[in-house]
Amino acid sequence: MTTLSRKSIAIVGTREPSDYGKQSASLFATAFVKNGWQVISGGARGIDSCAHLAALRAAGKTIAVIASGVAVDYPSSNSELFKSISKHGALVSEVMPNVRAVQSRFLTRNRLIAALSCATLVIEAAYRSGSLRTARDAADLMRPVMAVPGQLNSLSSQGCHRLIAERAAEIVTSVDDAVEFVDAN
């Protein structure tokens, strides 16, 4: 089965995660891989990288949807991660291989992440964030959206709390909740 035709879960979130966020991304990505899912994210620092790395460590497949061409490592700090993803999954982009990332392309990338996934899980996102855009894109496509709650006073949890409060995302407080929710939908 080709990588893009397998059942996939998007895991997205902040580029500046707390230790809680990093642990959550790793736990959820590992659990989904062990349940036969592959992980899709945006290849960015933070939650994206944690999810990709955990999927790879669990011997799973992962897809990075990137805002640059596949021959451009953006961010450059993820060069080794992109090499691993290329071997055990896929790098996906809408632009030619050597095109550099520009800010406007990140919204397109978020839309693609939502479209390629059967469901989206948001872990630590600010009140205004690209991760919320991915969640809304997923909802527009009638795909399930989940959010992990965080500390009440954490700026990087306000987006998840917003999605939950607006009933735009299902609250998930454990890996079992998320796996059950995704399998049921």
pLDDT tens by residue, 19-70: 999 999 999 999 999 999 999 999 999 999 999 999 999 999 999 999 999 9
Q: How many domains does the chain have?
A: 1
Omega before residue 144 within 30° of 0, cis: no
Render pLDDT for 90-104 as a digit per residue (tens, 0 to 9): 999 999 999 999 888
Question: Which tokens hold the place of 40?
Answer: 């899709």
pLDDT at residue 149, rounded to an integer: 97
Phi, psi of 65, rounded to the nearest 5 degrees: -95, 115
Question: Which tokens hold the place of 21?
Answer: 């966020």
Q: What is the CATH number of the domain that holds 163?
A: 3.40.50.450
pLDDT surpasses 50 at 1:
no
Asked if 160 and 169 count as a contact pair (C-beta separation under 8 A), the reply is yes
pLDDT surpasses 70 at 4:
no
pLDDT at residue 121, rounded to an integer: 98
Which residue range is the domain that position 91 belongs to? 3-184
Can you tell me which residue has the tokens 């995302």?
A: 169
Question: Which tokens hold the place of 140?
Answer: 């527009």
Mean pLDDT (the chain) is 93
Return the axis-axis angle of helices 175-184 and 19-34, rounded to nearest 10°.
50
Split at pLDDT 50, 70, 90, the class of 185 is confident
Split at pLDDT 50, 70, 90, the class of 3 is low
Task: Fill in the amino acid letter for 118.
Answer: C
Average pLDDT over residues 84-89: 95
pLDDT at residue 5, rounded to an integer: 63
